[in-house]
Amino acid sequence: MRVISHQGRGATKGTTKMADVCKKVLLGKFGSIPEVKVVWKHRIPKFMHRTSHIHVYLEACAPSNVMNQILNDVTSCALSSGAAAGIAAIASGPGALPVFTASFKSCLEHKVGQQLANQVHVAISSKQEAGPWH
C-alpha cells in the first residue's frame, strides 16, 4: 500500500476554512501487458521486453484536521472496498464504481460516524505503469 499526500483546495482569502488535504492510496494492480521493442546497434537487432500493469488508485480529500484523524480508517475502507468491487472491474469500466462507492461509504460511516464520513470526497483513477526494459 502506498499513500501519497498533497494539498487540495484551500480557503479563499478572508475566510478561516481549513485547507483540504488529499491522500492517494494504491488499491491494487492487475494485468500483465507484454511490450516488445527492437533496438538496432551496428545493424544487429536486439529484442527487448518488459511488462506493464494497470494500477488503480483512490484519492480521498478532506479538511486536514479530519484527514489526520481518520487516515487509517480511510485506507482500510478503501482497500476492503476495492477488494469487494474487484480492482480489474473498477478500472475497466463504470459498472463496478457504484459497488465500490457504496461499500466505501458504508465502511467509513461505520468506523468514524456519518458526520466525519460526509467530509471525505473520493475519486478513483487508473494508470498503466511499465517495468524496466530487459
| Residue 132 cell numbers, joined | 524496466
Summarize pLDDT for 12-42 with one digit per residue, the tens.
454 555 678 999 999 988 888 899 999 999 9
pLDDT over 70 at 131, yes or no: yes
pLDDT attached to residue 117: 94
Tell whether the torsion through CA atoms of 98, 101, 102 and 103 is positive or negative. positive
**φ, ψ dihedrals at 31, nearest 5°:** 80, 155
Summarize pLDDT for 56-102 with one digit per residue, the tens.
999 999 999 999 999 999 999 999 988 878 877 877 777 777 888 88
Which segments of the chain are extended strands (E)?
3-7, 20-41, 44-63, 121-130
- The pTM is what? 0.73
pLDDT attached to residue 62: 94
pLDDT attached to residue 17: 59
Give the position of cell 471525505.
Answer: 120
Angle between helices 97-112 and 64-85 (to 10 degrees): 130
